[in-house]
Amino acid sequence: MDIRHKNGAVAELFVATQLAVRDFSIYWPLITQSRCDLVVEKDGSFAKVQIKKATWSKTGNYQYLQARVIGKNKLTNTPYQSKDVDVFIFTDLERIWIVPFEEIEGFTSVCLDSSNPTYKPRTKYDPRKWLLP
């Protein structure tokens, strides 16, 4: 199994578990490479979810927790559309960020955290407000 697929599967299972213990119902598409990873339901509201594993990368002296919204290869570089997904969920397998599609539509990636003590989230978005309590 390709390591990207393994990391993706682990992230999906982690998120599904965390949502299930918070009383969400979880539904998986039959086709594993569909545009949404799962569908969630709570209190009669449904959402198509795309889950992305966030990873740390180093720039200069600091590390940044990044999650790609659009992939780097031909199979995953097609931008998502509102018909594909309602919510992106990013995880570093410790924390979960839930992001409405409209807030990051057209983005290539998002920065969720940094080891830089002076780092401030971009003014266009603030990942702290996306954190699942």
pLDDT in tens, 43-55: 999 999 999 999 9
- When pLDDT is averaged across residues 7-36 and rounded to a whole number, the result is 92
Span 84-116, pLDDT tens digits = 999 999 999 999 999 999 999 989 999 999 999
Q: What are phi and psi of 124, to 5 degrees?
A: -70, -25
Detail the DSSP E strand segments found in the chain.
25-27, 38-42, 45-53, 55-59, 62-68, 87-91, 96-100, 109-114
Please check the confidence at residue 121 and state whether its pLDDT lies above 80.
Answer: no
Q: Report the percent of the chain where pLDDT is more than 70.
A: 90
Query: pLDDT class for 79, splitting at 50, 70, 90?
Result: confident
**Side chain identity at residue 60, one-letter code:** G
Residues 90-128: b if buried by 16+ CB within 10 A, e if exposed = bbbeebbbbbebeebeebeebbbbbeeeeeeeeeebebe
Determine the Cα–Cα distance for residues 46 and 28; give it in Å rounded to an integer.
13
Please check the confidence at residue 3 and state whether its pLDDT lies above 80.
Answer: no
